[in-house]
Chain A
Amino acid sequence: MKKSKTKAAASAGRKSSKAASAKTALPKLNLAEGGDGLRQALEILRDSSQTVDKRLEALRVLQSASFGDEQFDAVRGDFVAALREVTEDKEVKLRQRALGLLARSQDSHAEKVLMAGLKQPEKAVVPAADALHYLSYNLHSGVQSLARSIFESSKDQGVRQQALRLMSNDPQALKTIQKTLADKKETVEIRQTSAEALHALDPTAFQKWASKAVLDKSEHADVVATSLTALQHFGDAKAIAGNSALRERLGEITAGKSAPKLKRMAKMISSKYGL
């Protein structure tokens, strides 16, 4: 499958989904009770001659049954088999749903398909950002090293952001994350995601950085807001209380022409830490 085709399909999927939800709810399936009904739903899901909406509804029925329907254990294996089949379906919406569900249960086949798509985009069955998102469900999928290289090479900010999220549990990505956070040429979204990643990997380093970012008058307001939030919720009370420069800067923000959101946050921090 070509990359362009994947993108087009993804876009078409989103459009058709919006159109469907605008018109009507998903169709009713008239299924039998209990296990027979679940088997009927499985047949509909597998049947590519059915409409996408009908197959999505069958998938919804099966998914909700998987959370506690006693009859479901008898068809669980068949459900996984059906989802694996659907990962190759021509409808991207179905592929996305199936891969998302399988990846959540750390299904080895789904992970193989997703990894293959990231390594060879012509084999991708879902957009790269989705693939990274699904693979993030399994910490041990081994995707982290791939995520690092995708982050460095991709031009797509959505993909890079998703790769960064994956890197937030990878100690080997620490330097890249710190570098990205400090790089004012990166987009605010990417830097904010880097901030979250650094907080997850090294909370102490992030606290230090957040204090510096608040002091930096040339820093973007949204990045300052992120830093203020971090100081407010996770700050080291002793270090903050003893930081006279920070106290002064918070006073400036509160009294100056900063955005109301920043002023409010600065006030809250001052009041919390008695500055």
Chain B
Amino acid sequence: MSPTLSQSEMREAQFAAQVDEVVRNARSDAQRTLIDLCDERNAAYVDQPASAVTRMRGWALESLCRVAPLPDEGLPFVLEELETAHDPYPLALAAWCLRTYPQPLASFGPALSMASRNAQGLDAPVMLGVYGGAGPAGSGNTSPMREVDATIAWLGPNGVLPAGSCCPELPESIAGLFRRKVRGPAANRAAVDRVALQDHRGETRSFRERFRGQPSIVVFFYSRCDNPYKCTLTLSKMSRVQAILEERGLFDRISTAAVSYDPVYDTPERLLRYGRNRGFRIDSEYHVLLRAPEGFDVLRRHFELGVSFFDSFVSRHRIEVFVLDGEGRVAFTFQRLNWSEEKAVDEALALLAAAPKSPVTAASAASLAGLAASLVPKCPMCWATYMSFLGVTGTLPVLGSVGLKALAASLLTLHLLLALWRVRVTGWHASHTLSVAGAVAMGINLVNPVSGLAWVAVALMMIASILTVRRQYTA
């Protein structure tokens, strides 16, 4: 059932009261509580419209900056608003809030520069100190331009860069809040592997099939996003990522994918149009625009997406970029701030370089086991030859006809197990069909020898082996 506006209004009022109480009681965990409330994943924002989320997060952020100087953990929210705010209230608020940080840093300059450009087109009365950021009849006590100007003045000489220098980086202690390496397996791995992802051509494959076998750079977006500094910019930046991959000869070794937050509305046609219009290249199997018509919630949990919804509409989302390893696991994330395309490619390349070669070895081993099985005698002449060999070497007493058949059966079983393990890792491919078909043929031949079947089985397994190795190296 869809939420009603009156329910959301009631919950909004409760939220405001909760924030006021945190501030009033000055609890020791007040800062932590308020930082948690700035996160769009907080349960308070479930089924709240965009305007309410803006007011609620604004009030949490303003309260955070009033209880004490802005802590490092609060900076991501402030800098994000300075770079991407699409509404006068959060922009003015973020500019004011930054001035409560203990010291002006030169690395705030780029975000303030963007804020200054945004503020010109967004200037409007804003009332700080009041829930919702507006006084009676929409009056205000400040505006985005006034606050941004004041913050630029606060930055003072720190904001002036030496001639020829550009874009000072945030200290690592702060930058680490926007990008991080991820360790440990995801809890809902099996579920996410099964999620069906439909691409811009309408073709559906599972998450596992899409993202296993090579590192991937994945972003989230939706075509109805009206903030030019978020989804549109993210897709445009992904086209730059693709250009870098091509320059470095990695276009077919590292994949890129843009996944919609809005799978019901973003049909394959809409995905295609949106991607093309922003320069996203879709001329290869490795570069796709995707949606999850079923199972988006599983993806949301897997990636811990910073997005909230009202009805079927996205009401708030952060910028988020993920680098996945060859197993489809999240290895690195960029959040909120404008991310570096080169850095994303570097992270994916590092994963490519670190990828174990064992899958190739194991795949070959599967076929080798099958081939070894083929060496077990299947005709009277062969049996005689092997018997003679075993007799000469003195191993005949150890292995009789039954023993050899048991050995062949064991090798075939090993072959099948290895082949199935490869299927689980890489998804199903033509080589697996050939390999399994070869093993089955060999098994039939062991039980009931058929003239020529053994050679057919050997040929199938050899072709499977060659295809597997070729695929591994061309990927």
- Which A residues touch B312, using CB under 8 A? 170-172
**Residue contact B138 to A109, C-beta cutoff 8 Å:** yes
Other-chain contact of B120, A73, A87, A110, A201 (Cβ < 8 Å): A73
Q: Which residues of A contact B124 (CB under 8 A)?
A: 76-77, 80-81, 107
Interface string of A52-94 (1 = CB under 8 A from B): 0000000000000000000001001100110011011000000
- A145 located at the interface, meaning its Cβ lies under 8 Å from any Cβ of chain B in the complex: yes
Q: How long is the Cα–Cα vector from A140 to B53 in the complex, in angstroms?
A: 11
The answer to whether B52 touches A81 (Cβ under 8 A) is no
Q: Judge whether B3 and A145 touch: CB under 8 Å.
A: yes
* CB atoms of A170 and B120 under 8 A apart: no
* Residues 116-142 of B at the A interface (beta carbon under 8 Å): 120-121, 123-125, 132-134, 137-140
**Pair B89/A81 contact, Cβ less than 8 Å:** no
Q: Using Cβ atoms and an 8 Å threshold, which residues of chain B touch A111?
A: 51
A270 within 8 A of B: no
- Name which residue of chain B comes closest to A115, CB basis: B5
B410 interface residue, CB < 8 Å from A?
Answer: no
| CB interface residues, B 309-328, toward A, < 8 Å | 310-315
Q: How far is the CA of A203 from the CA of B269 in the complex (A)?
A: 10
* Central interface residue in B4, B50, B139, B314, by most chain A CB within 10 Å: B50
Judged by a CB distance under 8 angstroms, whether B2 is at the interface is: yes
From A107, A141, A145, A201, give the contact of B50 (CB < 8 A).
Answer: A141
B234, CB-defined interface residue at 8 Å:
no
**Minimal beta-carbon separation of A71 from chain B (angstroms):** 12
Contact check, B125 vs A84: say whether CB atoms are below 8 A apart.
yes
Output the nearest chain A residue to B125 by Cβ-Cβ distance: A81
Asked if A81 contacts B49 (CB within 8 A), the reply is no
Interface centre among A84, A87, A119, A140 (most CB of B within 10 A): A140
Question: What chain A residues lie within 8 Å of B315 (beta carbons)?
Answer: 140, 142
B18 to chain A, nearest CB (A): 21
Q: Compute how far the CA of A142 lies from the CA of B143 in the bound complex, rounded to whole angstroms.
A: 25
Tell me if A6 counts as interface (CB < 8 A to partner B): no
CA distance A54 to B134 in the complex (A): 29
User: Which residue of A80, A88, A115, A169 contacts B123 across the interface (Cβ within 8 Å)?
Assistant: A80
Question: B283 at the A/B interface (Cβ < 8 Å)?
Answer: no
| Closest chain A CB from B116 CB (angstroms) | 11
| A48 interface residue (CB < 8 Å to B) | no
Among A106-127, those with CB < 8 Å from B are: 106-112, 115, 119
Q: Which A-chain residue is minimally distant from B48 (CB atoms)?
A: A142
Residues of B contacting A87 in the complex (Cβ-Cβ under 8 angstroms): 137-138
List residues of chain A with CB within 8 A of the CB of B3: 145
In angstroms, Cα B120 to Cα A85, docked, is 21
CA of A138 to CA of B2, assembled, Å: 19
With A107-B124, A145-B5 as known contacts, state yes or no: A140 contacts B49, CB within 8 Å.
yes
Most chain A C-beta atoms within 10 Å of own C-beta, residue among B2, B89, B224, B269: B2
- Tell me which residues across on chain B come within 8 A of A139, comparing CB atoms: 224, 226, 313
Bound Cα distance A113, B52 (Å): 14
Contact across chains for A76 and B123 when beta carbons are under 8 A apart: yes
* Residues of chain B at interface, number, CB under 8 A: 41
Contacts of A129 in B (CB 8 A): none
**Which residues does chain B contribute within 8 Å of A144, judged by CB atoms?**
311, 313
Partner of B2, one of A108, A110, A145: A145
**Does B252 lie at the interface of the complex (its beta carbon under 8 Å from any beta carbon of A)?**
no
Return the chain A residue nearest B312 by Cβ. Answer: A171
Chain A: interface residue total (CB-CB under 8 A): 32
Complex contacts, A110 vs chain B, CB 8 Å = 138
Partner of A169, one of B143, B224, B267: B224
Report the tally of A-B residue pairs with Cβ distances under 8 A: 97
Report if A171-B51 is in contact (Cβ < 8 Å); known contacts: A77-B125, A81-B125, A84-B138.
no
Most buried by A among B52, B120, B312: B312
Chain A residues 202-241 with CB under 8 Å of chain B are 203
Cβ A106 vs Cβ B224 within 8 A:
no
User: How many angstroms between the C-alpha atoms of A4 and B312 in the bound complex?
Assistant: 34
Q: Is B54 on the interface with A (CB-CB < 8 A)? A: yes
**Complex Cα gap A107–B133 (Å):** 12
Contact of B137 among A85, A141, A142, A146 (CB under 8 A): A85
* Complex-state Cα separation, A146 to B49, whole angstroms: 12
List residues of chain A with CB within 8 A of the CB of B6: 119
Check A172–B311 contact: CB distance below 8 A.
Answer: yes
- Say yes or no: is B265 at the interface (Cβ < 8 Å to chain A): yes
A140 neighbours in B (Cβ, 8 Å): 49-51, 226, 313-315
For A80, list chain B residues within 8 Å (CB). Answer: 123-125
Q: Which residue of A lies closest to B9 (CB)?
A: A119
User: What residues of A have a CB within 8 angstroms of the CB of B267 in the complex?
Assistant: 203
Cβ of B291 to closest chain A Cβ, rounded Å: 13
Of listed B89, B123, B124, residue having the most chain A CB within 10 A = B124
B376 CB to closest chain A CB (Å) equals 54
- Which residues on the A side are within 8 Å of B52 (C-beta)? 142
Contact B54 A77 (CB under 8 A): no
Task: Please indicate the chain A residues that have their CB under 8 angstroms from the CB of B5 in the complex.
Answer: 115, 119, 142, 145-146
* Cα–Cα distance between A246 and B45 once the two chains are bound (Å): 49
A103 to chain B, nearest CB (A): 12
Distance (Å) between the CB of B109 and the closest chain A CB? 21
A67: min CB distance to chain B, Å: 12
Chain B 1-26 interface residues, beta-carbon cutoff 8 Å to A = 2-6, 8
Q: How far is the CB of A204 from the nearest CB of chain B, in Å?
A: 9
In the complex, what residue of chain A is closest to B86 when comparing beta carbons? Answer: A106
A81 close to B138 (CB less than 8 A): yes
- Bound-state CA distance A27–B311 (Å) is 47
Instruction: List B360-406 residues whose CB lies under 8 Å from chain A.
Output: none
Minimal beta-carbon separation of B297 from chain A (angstroms): 16
Expressed in whole angstroms, the Cα–Cα distance for A142 and B6 within the complex equals 12
In the complex, which residue of chain A has the Cβ closest to the Cβ of B270? Answer: A203
Contact yes or no, A84 B139, CB < 8 A: yes
A163 to B267, CA, bound (A): 24
**Is B87 interfacial (CB 8 A cutoff)?**
yes
Residue of B nearest to A146 (CB): B5
A-B contact pairs, 20 of them (CB 8 A): A84-B125, A84-B137, A85-B138, A106-B87, A107-B138, A108-B133, A109-B134, A112-B51, A119-B6, A139-B313, A140-B226, A140-B315, A142-B8, A142-B51, A145-B3, A170-B312, A172-B311, A172-B312, A201-B265, A203-B269
* A-B CB proximity, top 8 nearest: A142-B49, A109-B138, A84-B138, A140-B50, A80-B124, A77-B123, A171-B264, A76-B123
Partner-B contacts on A (CB < 8 A): 73, 76-77, 80-81, 84-85, 87-88, 106-112, 115, 119, 138-142, 144-146, 169-172, 201, 203
